[in-house]
Chain A
Amino acid sequence: MNSLKSPSDLEKLRKDILAKKDPKRLAIAACVSTGCQALGVQKVLEAFDEEIKKQGLEGKVEIKETGCLGFCEKGPRIVIYPEEVYYFQVKASDVPEIVSKTLINNEIVERLLYTDPVTGKRARYLSEVPFYKYQNRLLLESNSKIDPKNIEDYLAIGGYAALAKSLFQMTPEDVMKEVKDSNLRGRGGGGFPTYRKWESSRNAQGEPKYVIVNCDEGDPGAFMNRALMEGNPHSILEGLIIGAYAIGSHEGFIYVRQEYPLAIENMETAIKQAEELGLLGEDILGSGFDFKVKIHKGAGAFVSGESSALMTAIEGKVGEPRPKYVHTSEKGVWDKPSTLNNVETWANIPLIINKGANWFASIGTASSKGTKIFALAGKVNNTGLVEVPFGISLRDIIYKIGGGIRNGKKFKGVQTGGPSGGVIPKQHLDSPVDFDELTKLGSMMGSGGMIVMDEDTCMVELARYFVNFLCDESCGKCTPCREGLKQANIILNRIVSGKGTEEDIKKLEKIAEVTSVASLCALGQTSANPLLTTLRYFSDEYEAHIKEKRCPALACKELVSYYIDPEKCQACMICHRNCPADAIIGEKMKVHVVDQSKCIKCGTCYDVCPPRFGAVQKLSGEPVPPPIPEEERLIKRARKEKRS
C-alpha cells in the first residue's frame, strides 16, 4: 500500500477496502486473545482449517482471528458471519458439525448457543445474552469486528477518521476544548481529569514533549488494557497521535508489561502498518505534523505503573517513584514535559473526536463520564470483561451481567481498585459505580479490576494477601511504606495463624494511618485501603480470629482442621489415595480417619470426596472429635448393605 498524503487519500482507501468486502461472504471470527488460547482456541482453529478443506469450502470462508470478546467464562467463543451466529465454549470436536450445518446449510447448532442457566432458554442473538445485554460496549465492541493484525479492518470500521478530522478540521486548541468538554477522567485509577494533564504539559517549557501510553496493568485481577491492546491496538495509537497533536508532542512511548507478549506483538504490528500508510511518522497524512512512537517493555514491577516510576523506567533505570512537587506533566521523562495516560483513556479519544464531547458527556454520572471497562472475576458466574456506563450499580454488574455468585454461595464482598482499593460489602451493593462514590466507600475505581468474593473468602486473609503483595512490591525508598507494610504484614500473619491479640487491631489502624499520610507515592498512600475497608466492614471476622481462634470462612490454614464424618464416610479410598501426606488412615470397608498429626491441611481430601458423600468437613474454632472406636469403623457399608 502506498503512503497516504491527504485525508481524501484515506477516504479513498477506506472506500476501496469496503468495496472489496463482500457483506455476504462467510466468515468465522474467533477470539485468540490470551484467555481463549488458554482454553484451547488454537485447536478449534486448526480443526476449522482442516474441516473447511474437507467439506469443500476452501477459499470460500474467511477466518478472522480477533481480540478478546469479553465473555471469557464461556470461551472459546466464535462468531459466524454474515448471519452473526454466536457459539460459546466451542471445542475442536464441534467443528465438523458447525461447518456442515451452519456454514453449508445455514442451520444453527442449538447446543452451542448461549443457554440461560435459569430459564434454559437458548439465545440466538447476542442481545439476548444477559452478559452482553446490560453493557454499553463503546470500546470493546470493535474487538469482534477486526483482526488486530490488519489495519484494513480498523479502517473499514472508520479508523483514523478522528485523526484526519483533528489534523485538518481542528486546531490543537479545538482538540483540547473537545477533551475538556467531554470531562474525560483518567482510566488508570486516580480519575484525574485528562484535559488538565494535557494542558499542563502543553503549557510547560521544554522540548521535546512526550506522550505515553501506560499499559503496565500491574493490578492483579485486571486485564482490561491487555484486551484493548491485543484486540484493537490502532484505537490506542490513534488516540495517542491525536493527543500528541493537541499537546504539541512529536514523540511517544508505549509502555507494556512483558507479561503481555501478544499485546506487544499486536502493537508492534500496528505501529508498522500505520507508518507504512503515513498515519504515523513524518508529515502525517500530509498535514506537516510529525509523530513517532516506541514500545518500551516493562520488566515486571508493580510500582512501575506509578507515573513517575514508569517514566524513570523508560529512562532505563530502576522504576522507582519520585516526589511530585513538580508534576511529571511538566518534568517527566528526562525532565521533559510528559503526558501519561492509561490505555483506556487514549482509546476513548477517537470516540470523543468523532462523536463529539456532548455525546460523550451524555453518558455516565455528573462527575464521571463515558463508560468504564471492568475485569469481572472471582466467584461470579459470568467472568470476563464488562464495559458499562458510569452510574450502574455494583449489584447490576454482579447479578445482571455477572449472573450472580457461583455454586449458589452467598455474596460477601467485591474488591475494586486492585491492591490499592478496598472491599465493598453487601450493604453497599446498590451504590452507583463512579470515581467519587467508590472513594466514599473507602475503596477506589482503580484501573477496573472487580473481584467478587463469596462466603468462602476470609477477609482477614485477603487483607493479609494484599498487604503481603504490597510489601513485596514496595520499592523501599521511603520508610513509612517499606516498614509500615512490613509490620502490618507481620501482624496480619499472626492473626491468620490464630496468634493475634486484641491490641493488634489498634496497631494495624495506627500503621495504616501513618503509611497513608507519610508515604512518597500512591502505592504507599493507598496501601491502607484493603486493611481499613476490611477492618471497617468485616470487624467480626478479625474478632473471630483473635478471640475465638476461629476462621469463619474456613479458609485460614492454621485455624482449620479436616475431619471425616464417620456417619457419611463410605470408605471409598479416594481421599486415602489422593492424600499427599499419607495422613488418611483407612482401607476398604473401613471408615477413614484423618491423622491430625500428619495432616498438612492441603484440602485435597475435601476436594476429592465425592459430593454425594460429602464426608470430609472443615472445622474451625472447635476441637476435632476423636476417631470412633476401631470396632465401629468396619460396619459402615455392611450396615448399609443389610438395610438394602
Chain B
Amino acid sequence: MYDDQIDKIIDKYGTEKGILIQVLLDIQHEFKWIPKEAIKRISERLKIPYSQIFRVASFYTALSLKPIGRHLVRVCVGTACYVRGAPRILDSVENKLGIKSGETTSDGKFSLETVNCLGCCALGPVIEIDGKYFGKLNSTKIEKMLSSCN
C-alpha cells in the first residue's frame, strides 16, 4: 500500500549514492514512522538487504519503528534545559499524559519523547509540540499547551 509513495520519494534522489538515510527521513516525515512494508520496498528498490536498513532505522533517534500519536511532544533534556529544570518538566508531562517517554497514549493522541537538544538553550526549559517550540516553561504553562491540542 505504501509502494507508490515510497517510489516517489526514492525517485526524487535519482541515482545518487548513499541516499538511504535521506529516504528514511523523508518516509518518517511523511508517515510519522517507518512501517515494515516501507523497509521492504526500499530494500527492493535500492538493493540493500532488509537487515541493513533495519539496522540504520533502529540506530538513529529521528527514525521510529513504531507509529506515533497524533501529537508529538518532545521534551528537551539537553544540558542547558536540564540545569533549568527539564527533569521536572518531563515528570510533569509524564504525569499529565500518564505515559513515559518513548510511549504513546492508549487513545493514540499523544506520543512523548525526550530530545537531547533543540538548540534553544537560552530559553530553557523548552518543549516542542508538533514542530512548534515553547520556551521558558513551567508546569502551569504545560497544562495549558497540552489541553489546547485536539
Binding partners A and B: yes
- Closest A residue to B114 by beta carbon equals A472
Which chain B residues border A163 with CB–CB below 8 Å? none
Complex CA distance for A222 and B119, rounded to whole angstroms? 6
Is the beta-carbon distance between A38 and B119 smaller than 8 angstroms? Answer: no
In the assembled complex, the Cα of A607 lies from the Cα of B121 at a distance in Å of: 22
CB distance from A631 to the nearest CB of B (A): 35
Nearest-Cβ distance from residue A344 to partner chain B, whole angstroms: 14
Are A73 and B122 neighbours in the complex by a CB distance under 8 Å? yes
**A218→B122 contact, CB < 8 A:** no
Are A217's CB and B122's CB within 8 A?
A: no
Q: Mark A292-320, 1 if CB is under 8 A from B, else 0.
A: 00101101111000000000011111110
Nearest 10 CB-CB pairings of A with B: A220-B78, A72-B122, A299-B60, A377-B80, A383-B122, A316-B18, A316-B20, A38-B133, A223-B119, A221-B79
Q: B28's closest neighbor in chain A, by CB? A: A299
Are A603 and B22 touching (Cβ within 8 A)?
A: no
Binary per-residue interface labels of chain A (431-460) against chain B in the complex, 1 for a CB within 8 Å, 0 otherwise: 000000000000000000101010001000
Query: Which residues of chain A come closer than 8 Å to B66, judged between CB atoms?
Result: none
Is B100 an interface position by the 8 A CB rule?
no
Beyond A334-B17, A451-B83, A602-B88, is A34–B62 a contact (Cβ under 8 Å)? Answer: no
Is B117 a contact of A259 with CB atoms below 8 Å?
yes
For B123, give its contact among A39, A260, A296, A604 (CB under 8 Å). A39
Decide yes or no whether B39 CB sits under 8 A from chain A: no
Partner of B80 from A301, A314, A451 at Cβ < 8 Å:
A451
B119 engages A300 (CB within 8 Å): no
B contact residues around A223 at 8 Å (CB): 117, 119-122
Which of B2-10, B103-111, B134-142 is the contact stretch? Answer: B134-142
Q: Tell me if A193 is interfacial: C-beta within 8 Å of chain B.
A: no
Q: Which residues of B contact A35 (CB under 8 A)?
A: 119-120, 122-123, 135
One digit per residue, 1 when the CB lies within 8 angstroms of any chain A CB and 0 when it does not, for chain B 84-120 equals 1000100110010000000000000000000111111
The answer to whether B126 and A38 have CB atoms under 8 Å apart is yes
Partner of B115, one of A34, A73, A259, A607: A259
A222 pairs with B83, CB closer than 8 A = no
A selection of 7 A-B contacts at a CB cut-off of 8 Å is A217-B119, A258-B25, A300-B63, A315-B18, A318-B59, A602-B88, A607-B138
The answer for the CA separation of A419 and B60 in the assembled complex, in Å, is: 19
Contact between chains at A37 and B117 (CB < 8 Å): no
Contact yes or no, B62 A258, CB < 8 A: yes
Chain B proximity of A415: nearest CB distance (Å): 7
Contact with B55, one of A259, A318, A418 (Cβ below 8 angstroms): A318
Which residue from A73, A453, A475 sits with its C-beta under 8 Å from B83?
A453
Q: Mark A58-76, 1 if CB is under 8 A from B, else 0.
A: 0000000000000011010
User: Chain A contacts of B88 at CB under 8 A?
Assistant: 602-603
In the complex, the answer to whether A259 meets B119 with C-beta atoms within 8 Å is yes
B56 interface hit (Cβ, 8 Å): yes
Q: Is there an interface contact between A297 and B22, defined as CB atoms closer than 8 Å? A: yes
Known: A300-B61, A300-B62. A375 touches B25 (CB 8 A): no
Are the CB atoms of B82 and A465 closer together than 8 Å?
yes
A378: interface (CB < 8 Å): yes
